[in-house]
Amino acid sequence: MKKWSIAIPILVLAVAIFLIFAIRGHWDFWKSNAVLQKTNDAYVTGDQIPLSTRVSGTVQRVGVQDYQMVKAGQPIVELDNSDYQASVDEARAAISAARAELIANQDAKRAADANIDAAKASVEQAQAAADAAQAAIEAAQAQVTQAVSEYQRQETLLASRAATHQLFEQVQEARDAAQASLQSRRADLVRAKATVASSRAALAGSLQQRTALNAKDAELQAQIAAKTAAVTIAQVSLAYTKITAPADGRVGRLQVHPGQLVGAGVQVIDFVQDGAWVEANFLETQLAHVRIGDTADIKIDAYPSQVLHGHVSEIAPASGSATALLPPDNATGNFTKVIQRVPVKILFDGKPSEDILRPGLSAEVTVHTDSQETTQATQPGTAH
């Protein structure tokens, strides 16, 4: 009896030690192979956007109340836009003036083209007059040569009394008239050459004026492009005076009120976009069989009687500590092995009411790691 009283405690102790070592050595294996992977380190999250001003101004109107549901494009805050509207009007007036000046420059170019054509015609006409004067000189020169020759012949005949004084005087008058005509033609040629030079100078001036108008044309087009950009900038600044909801969702608490002067970059309200999801932080030992697409049961702590359904959408590429602001450095010599947690994104199936899905609410998530195998097994044509 004494032997059994000693042996039984020893046997129980041995079995307990065996179980401790067995569980310690295979606990992670059993845990990672479990069909249901649960964690209470989960919370509802979503896209939270701080809406801020892009320009400065006085708050003119607030279109929402605290924590109100809003639709995409719904006005939230409007600033006084008088200055920005005036900038738009001024920029538009400037571009209109530049376009009017460009039109006037086009008219000036057409007038310059007409002046160029007229100058070219004048040059051609003056050159023709100069050519005619040159031909007249050549004809007059021939007449002078003939008259001089006739004068010399009659002078010889008069000396030998073979000609009369009357005939000699007629020949002399003809010579003098021919020489006078030659001088007149030479004067005509000088005037014609001066006209040609003047016409060519006028043509050169018209061409230079046309070149200047072309340069002004390019300058005005550049001004129009710059003023068009100024109109766009002014319109963008004017649009910034209205802050609207970027999507469907809910606003937070207003941080500005009508009559308040705000500067650029001032946050006016928080915005939470519809489409919340759950971020569940599983232990690394739980993720051996968790795959994208696995179904999940979700309990929100605020609504313990409701079970929502979803699925694994994404698994983070790194653990939470690895992406922290100050990640651990295990090479410093003070290494302590700690089981890490990896964020897993859980999307809701269907569209649960946004009234119960508020970012920050705690949740409990259970992932069914066998859900994809069950789905494949029940598909037609799958071998059993």
Got the DSSP string for 47-72?
-EEEEE-SS-EEEEEE---TT-EE-T
pLDDT given for residue 356 in this prediction: 80
Q: Are 51 and 247 in contact (CB under 8 A)?
A: no
| CATH 3.90.180.10 is held by the domain 32-47+275-329+336-377 | no
- β-bridge partners, 348: 310
pLDDT given for residue 378 in this prediction: 46
pLDDT, one tens digit per residue, over 193-219 is: 777 787 778 778 777 887 887 888 888
Overall average pLDDT of the 29-40 stretch: 78
Residue 384 has pLDDT above 50, yes or no: no
Question: What distance in Å separates the CA atoms of residue 5 and residue 43, rounded to the nearest whole number?
Answer: 54
Q: Which of 7-21, 28-42, 186-200, 215-229 has the highest mean pLDDT?
A: 215-229
pLDDT, one tens digit per residue, over 315-344 is: 998 887 777 766 766 666 666 777 889 999
| CATH 2.40.50.100 is held by the domain 49-80+241-273 | yes
* Domain layout of the chain by residue ranges: 32-47+275-329+336-377, 49-80+241-273, 83-239
pLDDT given for residue 271 in this prediction: 93
What's the Cα-to-Cα distance from 319 to each of 10, 20, 231, rounded to whole Å? 45, 30, 49
pLDDT, one tens digit per residue, over 223-260 is: 889 989 999 999 999 999 999 999 999 999 999 999 99
Select from 1.10.287.620, 3.40.190.10, 3.40.50.10800, 3.40.640.10 the CATH code of 83-239: 1.10.287.620
pLDDT given for residue 381 in this prediction: 44
